[in-house]
Amino acid sequence: MHALFVDDETEFLELMQKRLARRGMDVAVAPNGQTALDMLDATLREGGEPFQIVVMDVRMPGMDGLETLRRMKEKMPKLPVILLTGHACMDVAVQGLDLGAYDYMLKPVAISELLVKMEEAVRATA
Amino acid sequence: MAVFDWLRRRLGSGRDQEPDAEQLAHEEALKERLRDRCRRFRRLLSANKSALEAMSDVEEHLLGQRPFGMAYVQAVSTRAVSAVFRMVRDLNGLSDNAYLSLQTAFDHICKDMQARLTTTVSTDGPLVLPLSAIDLKDVAQVGGKMASLGEVAAHVGLEVPDGFAVTASAYYRFMEYSGLRAELDRRIQATDMDSLDALFNLSSALQNAVLAAPLPPELESAIRQAVDSMLQRADGELLLALRSSAVGEDASGVSFAGQYHSELNVPIEEACHVWKEIVASKYSLTAMSYRYQHGIPDDEAPMCVGVLAMVPSAAGGVVYSQDPVAAARGKEQVLLNAVPGLARGVVDGAVTPDTFVFTHENPPRLLQVKTGSGKTPCLAQAQAIALAHVALALEEYHNEAQDVEWALNARTGRIVVLQSRPLRAADAAAEQEVEANAEQCAQEPEAPPATPELLVSGGVAVSPGLGTGQAFVARKEADMLSFPQGGILVVERALPRWAPLLPRAAGMVSETGGMAGHLASVAREYRLPAVFSMEGACAALDGVGDVTLDARRCTVYAGRHFRSADSQAETPNLMKDSPVYRRLEEVARLMVPLHLLDPESAQFTPEYCKTLHDITRFCHEKSVALMFAPDSVNQSLGKQLKAGSKLQYWIVDMGGGFCRRISGPVVDIAEISSAPMLALWDGMVAVPWAGPPATSAAGFMSVMLQSTMNPDLESTAPNVMATKNFFLISDTYMLLQARYGYHFCTVECLAGDSNHENFVSFQFKGGAADARRRCLRARMVADLLERHGFRADVKEDSLFAVAEDFPALEILQKTRLLGYLLIHTRQVDMIMLETERATALKNKLATDMNSFASRPMPGR
What tens digit of pLDDT does each residue of B793-847 get? 776 677 888 888 789 999 999 999 999 998 888 777 777 777 888 888 899 999 9
State the complex-level ipTM: 0.88
pLDDT value at residue B510: 93
pLDDT in tens, B304-357: 999 999 998 889 999 999 886 667 667 789 999 898 888 777 767 677 888 899
CB nearest B85 (choices: A97, A124, A125): A97
Distance CA(B70)–CA(B119), nearest Å, equals 11
- H/E stretch holding B826 reads none
DSSP state of B712: G
Confidence of residue B660 (pLDDT cuts 50, 70, 90): confident
Share of chain B above pLDDT 70, in %: 83
Residues B452, B540, single domain; the answer is yes
Q: What is the pLDDT of residue B13?
A: 40
Amino acid symbol at B727:
F
Could you tell me if residue B340 is inside a domain? yes
Output the pLDDT for position B646: 54
Q: What is the largest CA-CA distance in chain A?
A: 38
**Residue B255's pLDDT is what?**
59
Which residues make Cβ contacts (< 8 Å) with residue B525, sequence separation at least 6?
A: B254, B255, B426, B572, B574
CB pairs under 8 A between A and B: 65
Residue-level pLDDT at B446: 45
**CB contact (8 A) between residue A87 and residue B71:** no
Distance from CA of B576 to the nearest CA of A (A): 23
pLDDT band at B518 (very low <50, low <70, confident <90, very high): confident
Indicate the Cα dihedral angle B14, B20, B23, B24, nearest 10°: 110
Is residue B671 located within the same domain as residue B750?
yes
Chain A residues whose CB is inside 8 A of the B42 CB are 123-124
What CATH number does residue B446 fall under?
A: 3.50.30.10
Which residues, other chains included, contact B335 with Cβ-Cβ below 8 Å and sequence gap of 6+?
B319, B320, B322, B323, B325, B326, B355, B356, B357, B358, B516
pLDDT at B771: 73
- In this predicted structure, what is the pLDDT of residue A73? 96
B722 pLDDT band (50/70/90 cuts)? very low
**What would the pLDDT profile of B450-492 be if each residue is shown by its tens digit?**
567 899 999 888 887 888 999 999 988 778 888 998 899 999 9
Q: What is the pLDDT of residue A79?
A: 95
What's the pLDDT band for B562 if we cut at 50, 70, 90? low
User: Residue B163 belongs to what domain range?
Assistant: 128-310
Q: Are residues B516 and B541 in the same domain?
A: yes
Question: Which residue of chain A comes nearest to B118, CA vs CA?
Answer: A89
Q: How high is the pLDDT of residue B822?
A: 87
Whether A113 sits inside 8 A of B756 (CB atoms) is: yes
Total of domains in chain A:
1
Residue B307 has a pLDDT of: 96
What pLDDT was estimated at residue B429?
A: 53
For residue A126, CA distances in Å to A47, B349, B624, B649 come to 19, 65, 22, 30
- The SS3 assignment for B29 reads helix
B284 shares a domain with B182: yes
Best of A60, A102, A103, A125 to disrupt the B interface (most B CBs within 10 Å) is: A103
Contact B82 A88 (CB under 8 A): no
Position B165 scores a pLDDT of: 96
Residues B618 and B642 in one domain: no
Please report whether residue B257 resides in a domain: yes
B192 and B339 within one domain: no
Judge whether B145 lies within some domain.
Answer: yes
Over the stretch B429-444, which tens digit does the pLDDT of each residue have? 555 555 555 555 444 4
Q: How confident is the model at residue B629 (pLDDT cuts 50, 70, 90)?
A: confident
Report the alpha-carbon distance of residue B691 to residue B675 in Å, rounded: 28
pTM score = 0.66
The whole-number pLDDT of residue B325 equals 64
Mean pLDDT of B274-281: 93
Co-location of B682 and B807 in the same domain: yes
Over chain B, what is the mean pLDDT? 82
Residues of B with CB under 8 A from a CB of A: 39, 42-43, 46, 71, 74-75, 77-79, 81-82, 85-86, 89, 110, 113-114, 117, 185-187, 189-192, 754, 756-757
Nearest to B186 among A59, A93, A116 (CB): A59
Checking if the pLDDT of B95 tops 80, the result is yes
pLDDT exceeds cutoff 90 at B687? no
**Across the interface, do A108 and B189 touch by the CB < 8 Å criterion?**
no
Predicted pLDDT of residue B742 = 56
pLDDT band at B513 (very low <50, low <70, confident <90, very high): confident
Residue B719: what pLDDT? 35
* Nearest by CB: B754 against A59, A116, A125: A116
Listed in sequence order, the residues at least 6 apart from B64 whose beta carbon sits closer than 8 Å to its beta carbon are B573, B575, B576, B581
B335 contacts B402 by C-beta, under 8 angstroms: no
Question: Using omega within 30 degrees of 0 as the cis cutoff, is the peptide bond preceding A108 cis?
Answer: yes
Q: Are residues B700 and B830 in the same domain?
A: yes
Query: For chain B, what percent of residues have pLDDT higher than 90?
Result: 33
pLDDT band at B611 (very low <50, low <70, confident <90, very high): very high
Distance (Å) from the C-alpha of residue B642 to the closest C-alpha of chain A? 32
Task: Nearest by CB to A124, from B43, B114, B192: name it.
Answer: B43
Closest CA to B788 of B821, B763, B756: B821
**Domain final residue, candidates B358, B387, B421:** B421
What size, in residues, is chain B?
860
Confidence band of B720 (pLDDT split at 50, 70, 90) = very low
Q: Is B579 contained in some domain?
A: no
Closest CA to B675 of B816, B802, B789, B853: B816
Give B46→chain A minimum CA distance, Å. Answer: 9
Question: For chain B, how many structural domains are there in total?
Answer: 5
Cα B249-B251-B254 angle, rounded to 5 deg: 75
Model confidence pLDDT, tens digit, residues B321-331 = 988 666 766 77
How far apart CA B609 and CA B613 sit, in angstroms, is: 8
Q: Is B690 found in the same domain as B836?
A: yes
Weakest mean pLDDT among B63-77, B304-318, B488-502, B714-728: B714-728
Between these two residues, B49 and B284, which has the higher pLDDT value? B284
Residues of chain A under the 50 pLDDT cut = none
Query: Does a structural domain hold residue B123?
Result: no
b/e per residue B772-810 (b: at least 16 CB within 10 A): ebbbbbbebbbebbeebebebbbeebbbbbbbbebebeb
Same domain, B300 and B384: no
When pLDDT is averaged across residues B152-171 and rounded to a whole number, the result is 93
- Chain B residues touching residue A86 (CB < 8 angstroms): 186-187, 189-190
Tell me, yes or no, whether B196 and B306 share the same domain. Answer: yes
In a domain, B566, yes or no: no
Residues B612 and B105: their CA atoms lie apart, in Å, by: 9
Instruction: Specify the CATH number for the domain of residue A82.
Output: 3.40.50.2300
Report yes or no: B307 and B346 within 8 Å, Cβ to Cβ.
Answer: no
Return the residue of B nearest to A108 by Cα. Answer: B190
Residue B835 confidence (pLDDT): 80
More confident call, B259 vs B472: B472
Give me the mean pLDDT over the B730-758 stretch: 80
B860 falls within a domain: no
Quote the pLDDT of residue B183: 84
What is the extent of the structural domain holding A45?
A: 2-125
Residue of chain A with shortest Cα separation from B86: A97
Closest residue to A90, CB basis, from B39, B42, B78: B78
Q: Tell whether B732 is covered by a domain.
A: yes
Q: Nearest-CA residue of chain B relative to A58?
A: B186
Q: Are residues B95 and B134 in the same domain?
A: no
**Alpha-carbon distance B228 to nearest alpha carbon in chain A (angstroms):** 42
Residue B78: closest CA among chain A residues belongs to which residue? A90
